[in-house]
Amino acid sequence: MATRGGSGEVKLLLDAIDEAFDRHSWHGTNLRGSLRGLSEHELSWRPGEPRHNTWEIAVHAAYWKYAAWRLLAGAKRGSFALAGSNWFERPDVRSSRTWRDDLALLVSTHAQLRAAVAALDPRRLDEPVKGHLTVAALVRGVAAHDLYHAGQIQLLKRLMRA
């Protein structure tokens, strides 16, 4: 198996996940930016049943950051802060405290993943982590996932205000 160049590639991966999550970039709103300033009503608005709302998308993104971290760290399944996996239904009546908790979970899970990426030995980037998926592809996928959902949230905000 061919190995990659060096720590410059790890820096590129860090840049990608940071720009997709909370750093300024050319592409527009990132995931964290798409969540700024939303009211409880906006967070819980659905375009229809059984579609997900913005709040659920944010927690979903936290879960997949955790899943990527778990693969990189070799951690056991089932250690996510919430019971379940993938999608987490949030109650229709929400409190600001619960949203703050879920937003803090998203931010801390990103930081945990970022630390694992920063600690990567560049020689691991072509290593398979799950089937044919490599370490580098996993990390790029996290960035793509954040941007996909940032765009989805931006669209939900437009639809809600139409």
Angstrom distance (rounded) from CA 119 to CA 7: 10
Give the C-alpha distances (Å, rounded to integers) separating 87 from 17, 38, 82, 124, 139. Answer: 21, 20, 11, 30, 20
3-class SS string, 15-70: HHHHHHHCCCCCCCCCHHHHHCCCCHHHHHCCCCCCCCCHHHHHHHHHHHHHHHHH
The DSSP call for residue 74 is T
Task: Tell me the whole-structure pTM to 2 decimals.
Answer: 0.91
H/E run at residue 151: helix 135-161
Provide CATH code, domain 7-161: 1.20.120.450
Angstrom distance (rounded) from CA 46 to CA 87: 15
pLDDT in tens, 20-72: 999 998 889 999 999 999 998 899 999 998 899 999 999 999 999 999 999 99
Residues 110-128 have a mean pLDDT of 96
Q: What is the pLDDT of residue 1?
A: 38
pLDDT in tens, 31-40: 999 999 999 8
Q: Cis (ω within 30 of 0) for the bond into 50?
A: yes
How does DSSP assign 93-144, residue by residue? S--HHHHHHHHHHHHHHHHHHHHHHHT--GGGTTSEEETTEEHHHHHHHHHH
Angstrom distance (rounded) from CA 64 to CA 149: 12
